[in-house]
Amino acid sequence: DREAGVRALLHERRGLLAEVLAALQRMGRNPPPALLVTPEDALSSVRSAILLGAVVPGIRKETDALIDDLAALMDIKSNIDREKTELTDAMQVRIEEEKRSEMLIAENEALTETNARTLAAERRRAEELAARATSLEGLIGSLEQEIGSVRDAAALARAREEERRGQSEAEREKARALARDSVPDKNRIAPAYEFSQLQAKLDYPVAGDVLRQFGEADGTGHDSQGLTLAANPGALVTAPSDGWIVFAGTFRSYGRMIILNAGEGYHLVLSGMDRVSVREGQFVVAGEPLAVMGEKRVASVNALTLETDKPTLYIEFRKNGKPVDSRPWWSAKKSGKARNDS
């Protein structure tokens, strides 16, 4: 547009420029006489001087304007050529990026397909191990040995523990202070804090009333090894802490169950859900949705003799394979008196 404007301006002044150029040409062919050549040329010299004095400033002005316009036109042409070159280079880069993106998409699709097959195979293997296992401790051990994603997660958990053991007392105290006072990064891929430092900081995985505490009679002649909560139908179940999913499926009398590796040898067991939305080997952060409760209580040994029709969530903490009382970890300050106590 700028080039077209300059060209139009030059075209409009075509007649004037032609007169200027003609005058310059005539002056070049028939220069004014010199003043001191012959006496008879004196009058011609005066006349020429008067004429040039009137005409030359106008000619110079038009000549300078013409030079400026031609210079502007050359600059515009130069800019056009430069921007064409830049555009060509940019288009070439874009073509290469599009090819690279297509290759990445193809690789991602192939990887997704491979991962889907791997996950399906791991899920089948986990179900086989769950069918053969006779105890939670045995199930966890076999899963961490034979399921690749769970084995990798367990190795990462051990590596983090080794890293913490190698820290100085000052570094460990700094981590403890961080656990007490800070909000962790939500994009983390490993537990933000040591599980043992989270006492009195965990929220229940589901909102509900405590029906039975650790150590209380479970109605079968044994003591309960976990905590039982009465939840609302369809309630969302979330992760009580950061950790890796060791198991997500059905296991014996526990029904539908999730096992979470929280690090430091701690495993958190949740059972009684209706639908589970996580998979083995997956890392979850505290508060992340894991499952949904059903519309009514799921029949399981952990829910026997409970005087409620509400769905119940059973929670069990294990340290190195042995059940431990989870009460020190919960932030809720309730007595936990069982509803079915007489």
Q: pLDDT (tens digit, 9 = 90+) per residue, 35-66?
A: 555 555 666 666 666 666 666 677 677 778 77
Picking from 322, 328, 48, the residue whose alpha carbon sits closest to that of residue 213 is: 328
The mean of the pLDDT values for the chain is 79
Percent of the chain with pLDDT over 90: 19
Angle, helices 42-132/2-12, rounded to nearest 10 degrees: 160
Distances (CA, A) of 62 to 15, 20, 293: 12, 8, 89
CA triplet 66, 68, 73: central angle to 5 degrees?
95
Is there a contact between 209 and 265 (Cβ–Cβ < 8 Å)?
A: no
The alpha helices in 30-147, defined as continuous H runs, are: 42-132, 136-146
The mean per-residue pLDDT over the stretch 196-202 comes to 88
Predicted confidence at residue 31, as pLDDT, reads 62
The Cα 40–Cα 211 span in angstroms is 134
Sign, Cα dihedral of 323, 324, 329, 330: positive
The SS3 assignment for 245 reads strand
Q: What is the pTM of this model?
A: 0.59
Residue in 200, 191, 277 with CA at minimum distance from that of residue 236: 277
Lowest model confidence (mean pLDDT) among 23-27, 65-69, 100-104, 201-205:
23-27
Q: Contact at 8 Å (CB) between 329 and 316?
A: no
H/E segment holding residue 289: strand 289-292
Query: How many C-beta atoms lie closer than 10 Å to residue 232's C-beta?
Result: 13
C-alpha span between 109 and 179 (Å, rounded):
39
Report pLDDT for 340.
Answer: 39
Which has more pLDDT, 49 or 73?
73
pLDDT confidence tier of residue 294, bands split at 50, 70 and 90: confident
**Hey, how many other C-beta atoms are within 10 angstroms of the C-beta on 318?**
21
